[in-house]
Amino acid sequence: MKGFYVFSAIAFLLASLVSCLEFDLAAMPDVNGARRCLSQWLPMGTHVKMTAKVLPGFPGQTINMEIHDDSPNLNQYGARKNLDEVVLRFDTQAHANVIVCFQNALDQGYSQDGRTLTIQFKMESGAMAEDLHKVQNELKLKPMEVELRRLSMSLDDIQDELQYLKQREGTLRDSNEKMNSKVKTFSFFSIGFLVVVAAYEVVYLRRFFQQKKLI
């Protein structure tokens, strides 16, 4: 279990650094059919900086974007129509996957000829999403002090993540123990019921054979 915690901490640290990619999205006349979603699991209260940019391409295409999570509340974090370039900052409201969806709608009057648009997407979370350059200018910190502060914030994020994993493990363990208790009770009940049925059959057969004077 300790190894699981270490692995989870490392994974969270890597996810908290920078998640950057570039992809092409084909234009479709039905906006519901041209959709690509990217997701990343983040704990509640995590600060997120999301950057998206659409590179120039053929005309007749419109990129729309929306951000939400898959928690029971389906928290909405932002949306943009006719996206060109945007930088969004928000704090997560639940332990859930943050999902960013892009749609490339083909404008009316244009035929579907395979045209695409290239989207650059970067999501930063935790310490990497904080604007430490502003803090550096205000407090007049040295570059090494800024990096130490960033490292300290990353360690705090890992500690929060480990605490959440421990709480989740405790919840799952309690649920497992309750289920085992219910299974054990049901097993005892089943055995008792079978014993009663077997005893009844023995008594019934004994009376039957006595009435038939077979014993």
Which residue, 78, 129, 124, is CA-closest to 100? 78
Residue 204: half-sphere exposure toward Cβ, Cα within 13 Å: 6
pLDDT of residue 127: 67
Q: Residue 168, by phi and psi: left (phi above 0), alpha (psi -120 to 50) or beta?
A: alpha
Q: Which helix (DSSP H) or strand (DSSP E) does residue 24 occupy? A: strand 19-26
Assign 179 to helix, strand or coil: helix
Q: CA end-to-end span of the chain, whole Å?
A: 64
Which residue, 49, 82, 51, 50, is CA-closest to 65? 82
pLDDT of residue 33: 57
What's the helix, strand, coil split of the chain in %, to 5? 45, 30, 25
- d(CA 87, CA 152) in angstroms, rounded, equals 25
Q: Which positions of the chain have pLDDT values less than 50?
A: 1-18
Q: What is the pTM of this model?
A: 0.62
Question: How is the beta sheet containing 76-80 ordered, strand by strand?
Answer: 35-42, 96-106, 61-69, 76-80
pLDDT of residue 53: 93
pLDDT of residue 152: 75
pLDDT of residue 132: 63
- What are the residues facing 100 on neighbouring strands? 38, 67
Residue 42 φ then ψ, to 5°: -140, 145
- d(CA 14, CA 16) in angstroms, rounded, equals 5
- d(CA 123, CA 19) in angstroms, rounded, equals 5
Assign 75 to helix, strand or coil: coil
pLDDT of residue 54: 93
- d(CA 61, CA 55) in angstroms, rounded, equals 12
Residue 106 CB partners (closer than 8 Å, separation 6+): 27, 28, 29, 34, 60, 61, 112, 115
Other beta carbons within 10 Å of 104: 25
